[in-house]
């Protein structure tokens, strides 16, 4: 068994405290001082502030492997404490900067809609609140779009009228985007929407607080997974301190945190040999966001067939209550995949090339994306040696490849891959030192999470400018290529020096 990597020197605790305090101040400014009206000035201030937060993040990530003894719990515990403070600081994001305390009280008491329509902080959260509201009133959230329910209200349908009795819900409805579309969020996400509604109807603060609990749960499970895989537990910093993660979960309230938690939990439990528990968590991940279904062959191959019923029962328990809406769910998901295009990379390159050749651009680019994803799944299945290392590496490349070649690459989607990349091995297949320099894909993906924030410039003029797409994706591939080449050269040199 290889020894756990050692590190020369150490980084003093005060330096991490300084970096943590600096980051905390930045998130506090983002939450209670940063204007988010969508003007060019506001967007540039947002990018400047988060650019600084990413700079601090990369410094901390570079120092974390040398911070005290990485075999102890103390560094990872301190990292997660700082991560909690960062998330709590971002909870007011979206409230008016001048009256945020009073408005926060009104939000928690369900008295009025206090948070703004987010803009730089996105607006998916309004659909979450609405779905939870509809579900809590005994209406299948998949059965009708918000616009259809409004028409039913105008026709004096008693169920629909009850949804709009409180002015708060009319305000929530007015903030929903794409109100003519049925919801695409699977049953586990709907259950969490309903839970948040039961606790505090219409409260964005409460919703974001629930997400933070799942996100911190991911951090804790990731520490356990790192220790089990003989990686430095302090490597969790690369996930826990990522500014995009903190912005999208604690700032914008994206439900992806739920899926990420169950996916990491499934990986950890399969690493522990708990097959049934792993299939349960994997099923809940699929019920939170459909994308983990791409990893189905990997998880089934690691569980005895006699345990597969657990996954089937979990999915059945989630979908049976909505059985009469399965066709609607399928059509809504297809509509999203067919119509949404945002922040694309290679997909757009294929699209433009096909158009120049006289081919249907969208169909051609989508077929190429599908082919790449299918090839990655096939490779992962054929090369599968049933090891935990292959599971993590293959899942990382499948989800990463799917995203890079997708038509719609929302910044928060990039978070799906981050914990897998953090817990993966180096190119040599050995436990890593935790240093980003020895983890080309992790380094490149962390850079991509930062560059993806350039896409928020769309709020300035509602135009997706090609230059930021080139910067974003060329930056990713350049870092990946250069870091890989440098690591291979270093490993080759070390091998030559070891042979007399």
Report pLDDT digits (tens) over 432-487. 555 676 789 999 999 999 999 999 998 888 888 899 999 999 999 999 999 888 88
What is the rounded CA–CA span in Å between residue 230 and residue 96? 46
Residue % of the chain over a pLDDT of 70:
91
pLDDT over 70 (residue 497):
no
- The pLDDT value recorded for residue 488 is 82
What is the rounded CA–CA span in Å between residue 160 and residue 173? 12
Banded model confidence at residue 256, pLDDT cuts 50, 70, 90:
very high
CA distances from 171 to 119, 120, 226, 274 (A): 16, 19, 45, 46
User: Is the pLDDT higher at 259 or at 35?
Assistant: 259
What is the rounded CA–CA span in Å between residue 77 and residue 149? 47
pLDDT over 60 (residue 3):
no
- The pLDDT value recorded for residue 117 is 60
**Alpha helices for 38-166 (secondary structure H):** 40-63, 74-90, 100-108, 124-136, 146-154, 158-163
Residues 250, 204 contacting (CB under 8 angstroms): no
Average of per-residue pLDDT across 261-278: 97
Banded model confidence at residue 7, pLDDT cuts 50, 70, 90:
very low
Least confident of 21-25, 40-44, 424-428: 424-428
The total number of residues written for the chain in this structure: 500
User: Is the pLDDT higher at 430 or at 335?
Assistant: 335
- The pLDDT value recorded for residue 224 is 95
* Residue 357 DSSP one-character state: T
Average of per-residue pLDDT across 217-246: 94
* Residue 321 DSSP one-character state: G
Least confident of 218-227, 316-325, 397-406, 418-427: 418-427
Residues 133, 197 contacting (CB under 8 angstroms): yes
pLDDT over 60 (residue 159):
yes
Confidence (pTM): 0.93
Ramachandran sector of residue 38 (left: φ over 0; alpha: ψ -120 to 50; beta: rest): left
What is the rounded CA–CA span in Å between residue 344 and residue 326? 29
**Quick count: other Cβ atoms within 10 Å of Cβ 317?**
13
pLDDT over 80 (residue 109):
yes
Average of per-residue pLDDT across 359-374: 94
What is the rounded CA–CA span in Å between residue 359 and residue 11? 56
Classified as helix, coil or strand, 141 is: coil
Least confident of 34-38, 43-47, 177-181: 34-38
- The pLDDT value recorded for residue 121 is 63
- The pLDDT value recorded for residue 337 is 78
By C-alpha distance, which of 104, 53, 80, 97 is closest to 209?
A: 104
Banded model confidence at residue 82, pLDDT cuts 50, 70, 90:
very high
User: Is the pLDDT higher at 447 or at 98?
Assistant: 447
What is the rounded CA–CA span in Å between residue 171 and residue 197? 16
Any bridge partners for residue 408, and if so which? 342
What is the rounded CA–CA span in Å between residue 374 and residue 443? 25
pLDDT over 70 (residue 370):
yes
- The pLDDT value recorded for residue 459 is 86
Banded model confidence at residue 5, pLDDT cuts 50, 70, 90:
very low
pLDDT over 50 (residue 285):
yes
What is the rounded CA–CA span in Å between residue 128 and residue 63? 38
Residue 216's H or E segment, with its range, is helix 204-228
pLDDT over 90 (residue 12):
no
For residue 495 the two structure tokens come to: 């091998």
Average of per-residue pLDDT across 322-332: 85
Mean pLDDT of the chain: 89
For residue 71 the two structure tokens come to: 């075999």
User: Is the pLDDT higher at 490 or at 90?
Assistant: 90
Helix then strand count (H, E) for the chain reads 24, 0
Q: What is the pLDDT of residues 399-433, one digit of tens each?
A: 999 999 999 999 999 999 999 999 998 654 454 55
């Amino acid at each position: 068994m290889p020894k756990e990597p050692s590190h020369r020197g150490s980084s003093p605790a005060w330096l991490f405290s300084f970096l943590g305090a600096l980051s905390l101040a930045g998130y506090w400014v983002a939450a209670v001082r940063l204007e988010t009206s969508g003007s060019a000035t506001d967007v540039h201030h947002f990018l400047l502030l988060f650019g600084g937060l990413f700079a601090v993040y990369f410094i901390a990530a570079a120092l974390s492997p040398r911070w005290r003894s990485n075999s102890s719990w103390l560094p990872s515990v301190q990292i997660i404490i700082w991560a909690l403070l960062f998330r709590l600081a971002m909870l007011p994001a979206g409230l008016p900067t001048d009256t945020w305390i009073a408005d926060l009280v009104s939000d928690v008491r369900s008295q009025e809609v206090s948070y703004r329509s987010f803009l730089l902080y996105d607006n998916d959260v309004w659909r979450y609140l609405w779905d939870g509201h509809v579900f809590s009133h005994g209406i299948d959230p998949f059965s009708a779009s918000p616009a259809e329910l409004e028409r039913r209200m105008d026709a004096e349908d008693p169920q629909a009228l009850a949804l709009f009795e409180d002015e708060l819900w009319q305000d929530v409805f007015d903030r929903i985007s794409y109100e003519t579309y049925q919801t695409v969020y699977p049953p586990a996400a709907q259950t969490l929407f309903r839970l948040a509604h039961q606790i505090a109807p219409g409260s964005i603060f409460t919703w974001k607080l629930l997400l933070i609990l799942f996100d911190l749960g991911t951090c804790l499970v990731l520490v356990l997974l790192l220790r089990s895989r003989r990686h430095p537990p302090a490597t969790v910093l690369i996930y826990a301190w990522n500014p995009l993660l903190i912005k999208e979960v604690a700032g914008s309230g994206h439900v992806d945190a739920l899926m990420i938690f169950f996916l990491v939990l499934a990986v950890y439990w399969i690493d522990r040999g708990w097959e049934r528990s792993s299939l349960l968590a994997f099923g809940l991940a699929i019920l939170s966001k459909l994308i983990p279904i791409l990893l189905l062959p990997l998880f089934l191959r690691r569980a005895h067939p006699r345990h597969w019923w657990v996954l089937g029962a979990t999915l059945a328990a989630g979908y049976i209550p909505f059985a009469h809406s399965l066709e609607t769910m399928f059509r809504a998901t297809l509509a999203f995949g067919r119509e949404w295009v945002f922040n694309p990379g290679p997909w757009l390159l294929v699209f433009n090339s096909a158009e120049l050749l006289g081919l249907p651009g969208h169909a051609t680019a989508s077929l190429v994306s599908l082919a790449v994803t299918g090839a990655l799944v096939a490779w992962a299945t054929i090369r599968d040696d049933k090891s935990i290392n292959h599971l993590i590496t293959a899942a990382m490349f499948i989800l990463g490849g799917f995203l890079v070649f997708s038509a719609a690459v929302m910044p928060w989607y990039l978070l799906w891959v981050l914990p897998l990349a953090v817990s993966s091995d180096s190119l040599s297949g050995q436990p890593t030192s935790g240093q980003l320099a020895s983890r080309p894909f992790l380094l490149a993906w962390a850079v991509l999470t930062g560059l993806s924030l350039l896409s928020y410039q769309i709020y300035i003029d509602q135009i997706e400018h090609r230059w930021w797409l080139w910067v974003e994706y060329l930056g990713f591939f350049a870092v990946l290529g250069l870091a890989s080449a440098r690591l291979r050269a270093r490993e080759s040199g070390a091998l030559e020096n070891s042979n007399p």
